[in-house]
């Protein structure tokens, strides 16, 4: 059996990755989580399913296509950040969102995820970006934001079918357990599969070798 996309990423980055899959209903044990970033943190230690009907994070619900009216989100962010609502409106308008509402999200060590997500150092991010560039022969167009950051990165990777990096936002770094010195990387499984084609790293995973370096995560949630 060949290596999976998650195994490949774990080997080449030396850290743990989790899978994300969008579905119509929860087929796994359903867990309540107010925010997508919080559920992502939990998914590194076990599989879970999250219904968007039980989520209460406006940013995540917007990114997942459930909320279509940005007015309240803009008001909330402007108030919390003490910022001009017009500036926040322009930022929110450019934030990625799913084209159709998501009913449920499965996360964890999935056999066939639609997205792969991991927390990596800037140095590892550079190495991963180089591998991506060697296959896709392009410079990565970055769309970084400090608002609704991780959930928007998930939506952006899915809708644009590309590698996305995110530094998170204060709330998502805390709830998502993103340690200091780490950033978030999100990749569609098909993009990872493209990188695996002909990559000798995949051969090492096939032999059963573990990641180059074991990294323990401290998820502070």
Q: What is the pLDDT of residue 123?
A: 97
Contact 63, 154 (CB under 8 A): yes
Rounded Cα distance between 212 and 196, Å, is 17
* Residue 120 domain flag: yes
Q: What is the pLDDT of residue 197?
A: 87
* Residue 217 domain flag: no
Q: pLDDT tens digits for 116-137? A: 999 999 999 999 999 999 999 9
Model's pTM, two decimal places?
0.86
The model's confidence at residue 201, banded by pLDDT at 50, 70 and 90, is: low
Q: Per the structure block, which two tokens stand in for 176?
A: 């998502």
* Residue 116 domain flag: yes
* Residue 212 domain flag: no
* Residue 195 domain flag: yes
Q: Per the structure block, which two tokens stand in for 171?
A: 């709330």
* Residue 220 domain flag: no
Contact 13, 210 (CB under 8 A): no
The total domain count for the chain is 1
Q: Is the pLDDT of residue 214 over 50?
A: no
* Residue 87 domain flag: yes
At residue 189's C-alpha, the angle toward residues 146 and 145, to 5°, is: 10
Domain that holds residue 31: 5-206
* Residue 218 domain flag: no
Structure-model confidence comparison of residues 207 and 187, the more confident one: 187
* Percentage of the chain lying above the pLDDT 70 cut: 86
């Amino acid at each position: 059996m060949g290596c999976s996309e998650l195994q490949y990423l774990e080997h080449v980055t030396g850290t743990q990755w989790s899978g994300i899959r969008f579905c119509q209903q929860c087929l796994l044990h359903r867990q309540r989580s107010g925010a997508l970033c919080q559920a992502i943190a939990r998914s590194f230690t076990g599989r879970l399913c999250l219904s968007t009907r039980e989520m209460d994070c406006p940013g995540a619900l917007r990114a997942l296509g459930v909320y279509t009216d940005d007015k309240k989100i803009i008001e909330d962010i402007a108030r919390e950040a003490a910022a001009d609502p017009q500036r926040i409106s322009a930022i929110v308008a450019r934030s990625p969102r799913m084209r159709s509402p998501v009913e449920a999200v499965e996360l964890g060590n999935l056999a066939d995820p639609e997205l792969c997500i991991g927390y990596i150092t800037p140095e590892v991010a550079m190495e991963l970006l180089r591998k991506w560039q060697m296959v896709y022969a392009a410079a990565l167009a970055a769309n970084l934001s400090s608002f609704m950051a991780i959930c928007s990165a998930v939506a952006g990777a899915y809708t644009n079918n590309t590698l996305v990096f995110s530094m998170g936002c204060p709330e998502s770094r805390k709830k998502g357990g993103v340690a200091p010195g780490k950033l978030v990387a999100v990749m569609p499984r098909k993009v990872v599969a493209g990188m695996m084609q002909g990559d000798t790293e995949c051969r090492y995973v096939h032999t059963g070798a573990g990641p180059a370096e074991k990294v323990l995560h401290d998820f502070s949630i």
